[in-house]
Amino acid sequence: ASIGEDVIDISRVSAEADCFTYDPGFMSTASCQSTITYIDGDKGILRHRGYDIKDLAEKSDFLEVAYLLIYGELPSGEQYNNFTKQVAHHSLVNERLHYLFQTFCSSSHPMAIMLAAVGSLAAFYPDLLNFKEADYELTAIRMIAKIPTIAAMSCKYSIGQPFIYPDNSLDFTENFLHMMFATPCTKYTVNPVIKNALNKIFILHADHEQNASTSTVRIAGSSGANPFACISTGIASLWGPAHGGADEAVISMLKEIGSSEYIPKYIAKAKDKNDPFRLMGFGHRVYKNYDPRAVVLKETCKEVLKELGQLDNNPLLQIAIELEAIALKDEYFIERKLYPNVDFYSGIIYKAMGIPSQMFTVLFAIARTVGWMAQWKEMHED
């Protein structure tokens, strides 16, 4: 490898040594070779195609990062314009898909609706059931374009509001906010601070090596399954509370704590191995240092709440800040290298934006679709 740890080829161990390797969680096993994302968990480093995640979050927009992940380099001005035009062109979904939504009960979780709707796209693109190499790029663009539309439709259906069509005059993030919050009788005006924050969140969640959902997409893709089916499996894996559902769990935890005065009580509960309570938003399977994405989101969270006039009176933020400060000084957490992760502040930002908690993981799926498609494309091109 040009960067990262060296590897040992164990593909013939079972044939030559008459035994198998056992590595639960693939903590010491590389399932593939990839040039998309690099992580050094001990140093808190995350890079996409060689670019540091903090630089991308501060200097790029989401579709620039999408282009980078899929094509391997940042786009020129002309390439960017062509790419964004194609994404906008494909953002509309087939009108018949609306009928699928009507089959769900009103209390359905948006992730359940999203899972079914994305899988059903294969019915509208039968030519991709036997896809060719020439289809890779168009398929990636279609997926990136349609997932936000389906996500917004899932939200609208769950709250009983009419679907809002995409507006091609808006950029990617603005368009999603428009589809989420506009109504037939009310135009939604995008707040630039909110737009910037959501853009950063999408970038920070775009890819993260061979995690559970990405590995699931690759495994499904290895059978030659159509890309819509593959992305559906990724959504299913992401739905798990140990993966994409963690930011929703953080909000529930902060609400349970209720007040800063109860933080010591819950810190003690977290240390008690016999207590089922877990401190959500701390620790990471990969990072043994501060999650670099959490560093960006902490400041972004403050920017959003300041813009909305909630910086000094948001109880969840106050609990989160004090909880983080106490945990970072506590030997129990220091010894176990339990630092805040990307989920710790993202839920607070979503909640301040007015996004329902059931939609948190859906937004994660919008962002991660870019990584899934880049990984799917790389797998088929190898």
The domain ranges of the chain are 13-54, 57-237, 246-353
Handedness of CA 149, 152, 157, 162 (dihedral sign): negative
Fold that domain 246-353 belongs to in CATH: Cytochrome p450-Terp; domain 2 (1.10.230)
**Tens-digit pLDDT string for the chain (382 aa):** 467 777 888 878 877 788 888 888 777 777 788 999 999 988 999 999 999 999 999 999 999 999 999 999 999 999 999 999 999 999 999 999 999 999 999 899 999 999 999 999 999 988 777 777 668 888 999 999 999 999 999 999 999 999 999 999 999 999 999 999 999 999 999 999 999 999 999 999 999 989 899 999 999 999 999 999 999 999 999 998 878 888 888 999 999 999 999 999 999 999 999 999 999 989 887 888 889 999 999 999 999 999 999 988 889 989 999 999 998 899 999 999 898 888 899 999 999 999 999 999 999 999 999 999 999 999 998 8
Handedness of CA 214, 216, 221, 227 (dihedral sign): negative
Whether 9 sits among the annotated catalytic residues: the reply is no
How many other CB atoms are there within 10 angstroms of residue 168's CB atom? 14
CATH superfamily of 57-237: Citrate Synthase, domain 1 (1.10.580.10)
Pairwise CA distance, residues 247 & 343, whole Å: 4
Residue written as token pair 């870019």: 370
Pairwise CA distance, residues 303 & 305, whole Å: 6
* HEC profile of 21-76: CCCHHHCCCCCCCCCCEEEECCCCEEEECCEEHHHHHHHCCHHHHHHHHHHCCCCC
Whether 284 sits among the annotated catalytic residues: the reply is yes
Amino acid at 83: F
Residue written as token pair 């993030």: 173
Per the residue annotation, which of 284, 312, 380, 382 is the catalytic one? 284
The predicted pLDDT at position 360 comes to 95
The predicted pLDDT at position 1 comes to 47
- Within 13 A of 16's CA, how many CA atoms are on the CB side? 5
DSSP state of 188: P
Per the residue annotation, which of 247, 291, 343, 380 is the catalytic one? 343
pTM equals 0.92
